[in-house]
Chain A
Amino acid sequence: MSATARVSADGKGKPVLEVRDIAKSFGGVHAVRGVSFDVFEGEILGLIGPNGSGKSTLFNCILGQLTPTRGTVSVDGQAVTGLRPSELNHKGISRTFQLLQVFPQLTVHENLILAGQEHRGTMFSRLFMPGDAGLGGEADRMINFFRLGHLRDEKAGGLSYGQQKLLDAAMAFMAGPRLVLLDEPAGGVNLTMLGALKERLQAVNRETGATFVVIEHNMEFVMSLCTRIIVLAEGQIIAEGPPETIRSNPDVIEAYLGH
């Protein structure tokens, strides 16, 4: 990865994702209240905030799982607000979920093929493709990259929680996305697996230049993984900057420690 592709925190570079004034209300509850930010090519942006600050709602608005009450989302300058999740995926945006989302009845290898197959040919032509849609080798490379080689033919449902998290993350990269949104990748993962997960995510970022947005509660994890951090509280951005300034920001400490 060249130094020029990596973008500094002060926003010099091309934004991949532009979020403008996104708001989402559920009845009288204003979960997200007008959030705007840019995500630049190649960066790993952390999105943190106390429980109920609107992080996941914001994610779901960006990714088409929820329709925002107002605001727009653009990818490479092209408006994508209101597109279905599968359509966004075809535009190179991939995600993981807060709760585990692997397919338990499929093997590790099959899970990865599934994660990439819809990017091969058309729906009709896929009917005439071999079972692995020509992705067998790519799936094996991803398995080895995420150190799941010994579990290749195990059903995903039989894996440990941490291994499933790794698989979940690996699946998000199968289609070669430009932008990956990870919702609490470290949640519930033990220390050993956590180190592996962080190291692998950084490696993908380095090798493919993919841009990440990461929601995370584990401060240690997020501070060491991310190059820039946005802090949400009560549906609004209260701070933004590199990890070291966020760590000592009085507003952030206030938001986390209570009122």
Chain B
Amino acid sequence: MSTLKRYQFPALIIALILLAAMPADLTGLGIPWTGFKRYGLYIISLWLVTAIAAMGVNLIMGYAGQETLAQAAFLGIGAYTMALLTTKLGVPYFVAFAAAGALCFVVGILLGFPALRVQKHYLAFVTLAFAVFVWLFIRNEQWLTGGVFGIQDVPRPVIFGIKTRPPLVFYWFVLFMTVVLAAVMWWLLRSPWGRAFTALRENPVRAESLGIDVRSYKLLAFAVGSAYGGFAGALYAPLVEFIDPAPFALGPSLYYLLMILVGGMGYFLGPFVGAAVGVLIPEWLRFTEGLAPIIFAVIVMIMVALAPRGILGLIEQLLTPKRRPHSDVTGPTLGAGATLTKSSAEKVTS
């Protein structure tokens, strides 16, 4: 077990306590901390929602080795499903939440089918076309989606009588949902499915020969990852309360990919680190006005060059002592090798 993985669980618990307490006004408890204002709460909630969508991308790309360029489109499907069901049909929040995830799961299965018989880049192309299609659909089908005017007043849910309308309460709700979805992902990855996904990424031919139904697992990874996009969308709509097509275009889909690269592909916490970079840096760089995307792009390029396994990969590399591969239990081979090197060196010099 790697050093980083060993500390993941306790770090998670501490992080959760901090995350729950940090934005709140703690002066009542005698702690001189007034918590986050409205904007801070929005940003930290957005970070968690982004991390949920990025978790899906991480499952598809980091664990199962497939490709997706359509996560923002699935976020869009989730957000519009939530917005339409709650504003137009008055469906209860959790029913709409489940519907958003289920719809994305089904669409993910249908989208994955044509890509099964061919190599993984084909899946990337299919998802690319799909991302453009979804964005155009949302923008053009005004009768359903409101077109560029979007859908307004997406309600925040009332859960067991608790109104999540206040930003701090909604943030706690998002945090709770993030924990639930992260726990489900953790359990999925620790189940035999998780190992099958890894096998699929590392060596599909060998995996198939061990009885692993590579086609079904590919589809499942893609569909579950896409459903996480749908869940994120179902939280995003009530967070922003007004949705329009812009955040669900192709550009934002690519952005999820970059977040996973920066955070650390195939690391459980990679999406959280990546989403933090992806949400916070553009906000901090807001003062640069138009320069923010360029600065972010440069940061990503430097990251990919210096730490190809992302921030978590870099940390793990720094924490793990260097090890050499095991040699076979044979002195003679080593000895023979040494003699050979010596004699060939002699040949060169003579």
Contact = CB atoms under 8 A, between A and B. Distances in A.
B330 A190 contact: yes
Contacts of B205: 65, 85, 97, 101
Interface string A117-139: 11110010011111101000000
Given A106-B195, A120-B192, A160-B325, A153 B209 contact: no
A158 interface: yes
Contacts of B206: 97, 101-103
A7 interface: no
A22 B206 CA distance: 23
A34 B217 CA distance: 36
Contacts, number: 113
B192 A117 contact: yes
A86 B200 CA distance: 13
A117 B214 CA distance: 14
A128 B211 CA distance: 19
A158 B329 CA distance: 14
Interface string B221-259: 000000000000000000000000000000000000000
Between B194, B326, B332, the greatest number of chain A beta carbons within 10 A of the residue's beta carbon is seen for B326
Contacts of B212: 86, 114, 118
Nearest to B325: A158
Contacts of B1: 153
A171 interface: yes
Contacts of B323: 158
A190 B191 contact: no
A28 B333 CA distance: 43
Contacts of A131: 190-192, 194-195
What is the interface residue range for chain B against chain A?
20 to 34
B3 interface: no
B209 A158 contact: no
Interface residues of A, number: 47
Interface string A188-216: 00111100000000000000000000000
B344 interface: no
Interface in A41-86: 63, 65, 84-86
Interface in A89-121: 89-90, 94-95, 97, 101-106, 110, 113-115, 117-120
Contacts of A90: 211
B192 A86 contact: no
B208 A85 contact: yes
Given A105-B198, A117-B192, A129-B192, A160 B328 contact: yes
Nearest to A163: B326
Given A131-B191, A160-B326, A163-B328, A86 B196 contact: no
A89 B328 contact: no
Given A105-B202, A127-B188, A131-B191, A193 B328 contact: yes
13 contacts: A84-B208, A85-B209, A106-B195, A106-B199, A114-B195, A114-B196, A114-B210, A119-B211, A131-B192, A158-B323, A160-B325, A192-B330, A192-B332
Given A114-B196, A192-B332, 14 more contacts: A86-B209, A86-B211, A86-B212, A97-B205, A103-B203, A110-B195, A114-B212, A118-B211, A127-B192, A127-B193, A131-B191, A133-B192, A192-B330, A193-B330
9 pairs of A and B residues whose beta carbons are closest in the complex: A89-B211, A118-B211, A101-B206, A126-B192, A85-B208, A117-B192, A160-B328, A133-B192, A162-B328
